[in-house]
Chains A and B, each alone.
Chain A
Amino acid sequence: MNGEWLDIGPLDQLPAMGARTLPVRGGDEIAIFRTANGQVYALVNKCPHKQGPLSQGIVHDTSVTCPLHNWRISLVSGKALGEDEGCVPTIPVKVDGGRMFLKRDAVMASVREAA
């Protein structure tokens, strides 16, 4: 329970070119994405522009387009791409034995700030 990585469930629960959400009590909700190639990434589920839920955007290549105003956010760095400027925190992910794990520190980052 106190490991460095948090087990958040089996990979097959995450559709390719799609996303799922992971609410964090007392902290920021996290969006977990899977690209067409099968890579998994996690971001805080808030567009740096107007806090749109990135998990609801269209995933293409390694970016997601925010559903509210079409900002394009890199899944790798969390940075806004193209003309826009801004950045959303990323959460390190690893996939092992068909399950997904998130870096505990990064998941809890927003909780600590709030406390």
Chain B
Amino acid sequence: MLSPTPRPHLIVIGNGMAGCRAVEEILERDASRFRITIFGAEPRVNYNRIMLSPLLAGEKSFEDIIINGQEWYDDHGINLVAGDPVVAIDRASKTVTSRSGRVESYDKLILATGSDPFIIPVPGNDLQGVISFRDMDDVGSMLRAASGGGDAVVIGGGLLGLEAAHGLSLRGMKVTVIHLMNTLMERQLDEAAGWLLKTELEKRGQQILTTADTAEIYGEGKVEGVRLKDGREIPASIVVMAVGIRPNVKLARDAGLAIGRGIHVDDHLVTSDADILSVGECVEHSGQVYGLVAPIWDMCRSLADGLVAEPSGYTGSVTSTKLKVSGIDVFSAGDFSGGDGCEDIVMRDASRGVYKRVIVKEDKVVGAVLYGDTADGNWYFDLLKKQEDVSEIRDALIFGQAFASGGGAGASPFDAVAAMADEAEICGCNGVSKGKVVACIKGGAHDLDAVRSGCKASASCGQCTGLVENLLALTLGDEFAGERQVKPMCKCTSFTHEDVRKAIVEKELKSIPAVMQAQHWTTPDGCASCRPALNYYLLCAWPGEAVDDQQSRFTNERMHANIQKDGTYSVVPRMWGGVTTPNELRAIADAADKYGARMVKVTGGQRLDLFGIKKEDLPAIWADLNAAGMVSGHAYGKALRTVKTCVGSEWCRFGTQDSTGLGIKTEQMTWGSWMPHKFKIAVSGCPRNCAEATIKDFGVICVDSGYELLVGGNGGIHLRGTDLLCKVATEEEALLYCAAFIQLYREEARYLDRTAPWIERVGMDYVKSRIVEDAEGRKALAERFAYSQSIYQIDPWAKRAAGEDAKLHQHLAEVRPFAGVAA
């Protein structure tokens, strides 16, 4: 067929998803407007790049992932130049030149050059065996490497990296993923969901290293392994670099087009040259660069509208990600970084491995993260895009579309439970129906705890607590008191301290995110009240196994010194039993001078306190004090503080026993132990009680016939004298009972309860039954304390003085207004 006039020539650079989709959109609007030539760098037809992962995993073949076969090009008279990429554009003569020297002139040109993998600049990144994950050739290289088995390292824990790891793992390789950030897929997932993903992948045999920074890739001629900045070495026969992509703008830059992060385009995808358009991952529109398919499809439509039909204009895209990462469903959309006015609605279902978080601002959904169950992803995304007012369905929102719209007209939580059939299951864990819960309430269970013990509803995972409370309110009306007798830990959970501690032990929870998931925390990362408590409970339950989370410690425990009102710190070195030496005093005096202590004060616990020390100077002053043989006095911690003594039988004419010696032994046994709250001990040598043992958490009063052991004293806001625990005959027994009592307090008191309120609550009879009457139990408690001490009795000052966590003490940089920034 001959045209009366030659048709204008459209050249597309890029035979990928964006370039071909743009052509499809143009053909759909006007099939005869242009004569079309497509240049592609790869020697093959147009295929679906997203499907490279199933290809690698062996779930699909190349034929399965072809979008447009050769017949599509033929049918539309498109000239495909595959395997011969364009290397230059001459805008003046309106021609392009390919690598083989072929020159074609264009009337309109579309740049769809996509993006390039980002290769991190480390030594060895050009060794044989370092592969990116971007095209068919990369997949071929990986398959060849995998055929020999062995170890693989994937650098990058984003979507692409995890897909590569999954594929290599299925192909029989032992895979380690190295990720710079502390959360996998941190752009799509929040910390809680990222943690779940990591745990699941580890369960499947992958090794996942987060906050791991690659120092170099080593090997003789070819890859042998990866070395991290912390010195760890991971052997590998291939390294897949999947840390990210960046827009391929080389041609555009060489041609003098306007570029930023990507090629600048207007709303009609036209570049700074009116005859050159651009589309896909290589463009920057209104400051945004996109790497997902949906926005690219939107762009292709706008490009075709502007070029051959009614211009519509591209206005940017709101993106959502719904994917299967290694077979695990994950969804995210919108903004989940939180912020002012944002409210998180969180639901966790530990038994199904589900985490859902919807972020609502001014009655509109602004973001969502779903893990494990993404069925409602599109519904949330729809609410988000349409900016619908969700105030009416807010309470049911997190349960999903079916629940929110099926729960009756108003969909208030009461309507929702009222509308449920009697047979409907309320508590999935214990299989309790609505009818049974209501019968239990009518039978006299008038609060949550009574329902939990009566019919077991809400007694396991607690997820249905809200439903049970609604049923209580519905059934009892005004009689329902509403609140539980025992308050939950904090606003992040419906569980009490005791519930949570029990779960940590029974379910073997060993990290803060694990507790939050298993106990259905309603906030993504807790609050300043529950995080320190959880950190302590974990350290207490799993000494040596739980990792001490510095970011969940109050500043005093993080800095190992006491913060003062002006932001400086006070430093207290340990003086065993309140005994010091001239050498120690000289060292303290020197340190006070050297670091400008503005006050030196004798404390109530028989120690010296140096005030006004700067955060930056702490490691240095500790090094000086360490050098004189002194360690941290823990005056800052929820920990053993001091053992106060009197001089006892060695000097005092009234002394009955060596109270100073016993005090020193007690302090040497107990120092360095973390506690629910601060813990003070005193040993007095006679009933005159000069060491004030009767207002300490644990006190000893020596008498002629032995030692009176006293517990639960407090000299603080509420003055409380100690209760007598028992009397023992020997020092060894006094130490044993002390260790057992401390461990009982450590294991059973609520965080931030001193011994006094704890004993008021549980009663002295209970404490005696555990410590005095139960010899086996006493021994076991003391042994658990000794085991914990074998791990935690270390001087934190020495580690800091040696350079650990130096960032905590140093400024990031300093701004000198007239000289700039100094690191």
Contact assessment for B815 and A37 in the assembled complex, using a CB-CB cutoff below 8 Å: no
Q: Tell me, rounded to whole Å, the shortest Cβ–Cβ distance linking A85 to chain B.
A: 14
B190, CB-defined interface residue at 8 Å: yes
B402, CB-defined interface residue at 8 Å: no
Q: Tell me, rounded to whole Å, the shortest Cβ–Cβ distance linking B626 to chain A.
A: 23
Which of B190, B523, B812, B813 meets A37, CB within 8 Å? B190
Give the nearest-CB partner of A65 in chain B. B528
Q: Given the complex of chains A and B, what is the CA–CA distance between A70 and B182 in angstroms?
A: 27
Q: Given the complex of chains A and B, what is the CA–CA distance between A108 and B820 in angstroms?
A: 11
Which of A22, A60, A70 meets B811, CB within 8 Å? A22
> What residues of A have a CB within 8 angstroms of the CB of B337 in the complex?
35, 37, 39, 62
Render A1-41 as a binary contact track against B, CB cut-off 8 A, 1 for contact.
10000111100111111101111111100101001111100
Q: Tell me, rounded to whole Å, the shortest Cβ–Cβ distance linking B244 to chain A.
A: 11
Render B711-735 as a binary contact track against A, CB cut-off 8 A, 1 for contact.
0000000000000000000000000
> What residues of A have a CB within 8 angstroms of the CB of B813 in the complex?
8-9, 22
Interface centre among B191, B211, B551, B815 (most CB of A within 10 A): B815
Q: Given the complex of chains A and B, what is the CA–CA distance between A75 and B488 in angstroms?
A: 27
Give the nearest-CB partner of B559 in chain A. A56
Contact assessment for A58 and B531 in the assembled complex, using a CB-CB cutoff below 8 Å: yes
> What residues of A have a CB within 8 angstroms of the CB of B182 in the complex?
16, 36
> What residues of B have a CB within 8 angstroms of the CB of A61 in the complex?
338, 344, 523-525, 527
A57 and B528 contact, Cβ closer than 8 Å, known pairs A17-B551, A67-B555, A108-B817? yes
A14 and B525 contact, Cβ closer than 8 Å, known pairs A36-B183, A74-B340, A108-B817? no
Contact assessment for A70 and B528 in the assembled complex, using a CB-CB cutoff below 8 Å: yes
Q: Tell me, rounded to whole Å, the shortest Cβ–Cβ distance linking B153 to chain A.
A: 20
Contact assessment for B528 and A60 in the assembled complex, using a CB-CB cutoff below 8 Å: yes
> What residues of B have a CB within 8 angstroms of the CB of A60 in the complex?
523, 525-528, 531
Which of A22, A30, A52, A74 meets B567, CB within 8 Å? A52
Q: Tell me, rounded to whole Å, the shortest Cβ–Cβ distance linking A80 to chain B.
A: 11
B180, CB-defined interface residue at 8 Å: yes
Q: Tell me, rounded to whole Å, the shortest Cβ–Cβ distance linking B156 to chain A.
A: 14
Contact assessment for B816 and A38 in the assembled complex, using a CB-CB cutoff below 8 Å: no
> What residues of A have a CB within 8 angstroms of the CB of B527 in the complex?
60-61, 65
A59, CB-defined interface residue at 8 Å: yes
Interface residues in B510-568 (C-beta closer than 8 Å to A)? 523-528, 531-532, 550-556, 558-559, 563, 565, 567
> What residues of B have a CB within 8 angstroms of the CB of A51 in the complex?
567
Give the nearest-CB partner of A31 in chain B. B812
Q: Given the complex of chains A and B, what is the CA–CA distance between A37 and B558 in angstroms?
A: 21
Q: Given the complex of chains A and B, what is the CA–CA distance between A70 and B812 in angstroms?
A: 24
A111, CB-defined interface residue at 8 Å: yes
A76, CB-defined interface residue at 8 Å: yes
> What residues of B have a CB within 8 angstroms of the CB of A70 in the complex?
528
A95, CB-defined interface residue at 8 Å: no
B220, CB-defined interface residue at 8 Å: no
Q: How many residues of B contact A (CB 8 A)?
A: 49
Interface centre among A30, A61, A68, A74 (most CB of B within 10 A): A61
Give the nearest-CB partner of A30 in chain B. B815
Give the nearest-CB partner of A75 in chain B. B339
> What residues of B have a CB within 8 angstroms of the CB of A65 in the complex?
527-528
Give the nearest-CB partner of A115 in chain B. B817
Q: Given the complex of chains A and B, what is the CA–CA distance between A7 and B532 in angstroms?
A: 34
A23 and B551 contact, Cβ closer than 8 Å, known pairs A58-B528, A58-B532? no
A37 and B191 contact, Cβ closer than 8 Å, known pairs A13-B807, A15-B807? yes
> What residues of A have a CB within 8 angstroms of the CB of B823 in the complex?
9
Q: Given the complex of chains A and B, what is the CA–CA distance between A26 and B814 in angstroms?
A: 11
Contact assessment for A25 and B815 in the assembled complex, using a CB-CB cutoff below 8 Å: yes
Contact assessment for A20 and B812 in the assembled complex, using a CB-CB cutoff below 8 Å: yes
> What residues of B have a CB within 8 angstroms of the CB of A9 in the complex?
812-813, 821, 823
Q: Tell me, rounded to whole Å, the shortest Cβ–Cβ distance linking B761 to chain A.
A: 24
Give the nearest-CB partner of A72 in chain B. B528
Contact assessment for B815 and A67 in the assembled complex, using a CB-CB cutoff below 8 Å: no
B624, CB-defined interface residue at 8 Å: no
Q: Tell me, rounded to whole Å, the shortest Cβ–Cβ distance linking B558 to chain A.
A: 8
A107, CB-defined interface residue at 8 Å: yes
Q: Tell me, rounded to whole Å, the shortest Cβ–Cβ distance linking B549 to chain A.
A: 9
Q: Given the complex of chains A and B, what is the CA–CA distance between A7 and B820 in angstroms?
A: 9
B273, CB-defined interface residue at 8 Å: no
Contact assessment for B339 and A62 in the assembled complex, using a CB-CB cutoff below 8 Å: yes
Q: Tell me, rounded to whole Å, the shortest Cβ–Cβ distance linking B186 to chain A.
A: 5
Which of B213, B532, B551 meets A12, CB within 8 Å? B213
Q: Tell me, rounded to whole Å, the shortest Cβ–Cβ distance linking B664 to chain A.
A: 33
A50 and B565 contact, Cβ closer than 8 Å, known pairs A36-B191, A65-B528? yes
Q: Given the complex of chains A and B, what is the CA–CA distance between A12 and B287 in angstroms?
A: 25
Q: Tell me, rounded to whole Å, the shortest Cβ–Cβ distance linking B817 to chain A.
A: 5
> What residues of A have a CB within 8 angstroms of the CB of B531 in the complex?
58, 60
A79 and B340 contact, Cβ closer than 8 Å, known pairs A38-B183, A56-B559, A67-B555? yes
Interface residues in A37-90 (C-beta closer than 8 Å to B)? 37-39, 50-53, 56-62, 65, 67-68, 70, 72, 74, 76-77, 79
Which of A1, A8, A37, A53 meets B336, CB within 8 Å? A37
Render B291-329 as a binary contact track against A, CB cut-off 8 A, 1 for contact.
000000000000000000000000000000000000000
A6 and B821 contact, Cβ closer than 8 Å, known pairs A25-B816, A37-B190? yes
Q: List 5 A-B contacts (CB under 8 A).
A: A22-B813, A24-B814, A36-B525, A56-B559, A67-B554
Given A36-B525, A62-B342, 13 other A-B residues pairs in contact with their CB atoms under 8 A: A7-B821, A13-B807, A16-B183, A18-B551, A22-B811, A36-B182, A50-B565, A53-B563, A57-B555, A58-B531, A61-B344, A74-B340, A108-B817
Closest A-B pairs by Cβ, 10 of them: A65-B528, A20-B812, A56-B555, A17-B551, A36-B191, A53-B567, A67-B555, A58-B528, A76-B339, A24-B815
